[in-house]
Amino acid sequence: MTDPIQLRNRFAMVKGAWDEHLRGTPFPSLGEGTAEQKIERLELALVDEMRARATPETAEQVADAMWSIVHARPDDDAVKIRVTRHHEDLARLGHRRI
């Protein structure tokens, strides 16, 4: 079980990122489960929506913002795995031909 302080910090981080990057978009329904499961679902929804809204012009900033959420997590963390996949997509999206 995750430490309650870590959970509170994760929620604060995802809430802040949601407010910054998805302002005006309501939180999705988080369904049943533990606080940790709900926070993880919220984090996944955040990074998925950030990826969906990225444009070639914003791809690099979106990738940086996503990485700031997961950079200190272990490599097997579900949200970090998703962010890594999105980074690959964002790199292709942001690549411009000259």
How many domains does the chain contain in total? Answer: 1
Treating both helix axes as pointing N-terminal to C-terminal, what angle do 59-70 and 78-94 enclose, rounded to 10 degrees?
160
The model scores a pTM over 0.85? yes
Q: Domain range holding 41?
A: 4-24+31-94
pLDDT at 2: 73
Give 30-40 pLDDT, tens digit per residue.
899 999 999 99
Side chain identity at 47, as an amino acid letter? V
Give 2-54 pLDDT, tens digit per residue.
789 999 999 999 999 999 999 999 989 889 999 999 999 999 999 999 999 99
Give 78-88 pLDDT, tens digit per residue.
999 999 999 99
Distance CA 63, CA 74 (A): 18
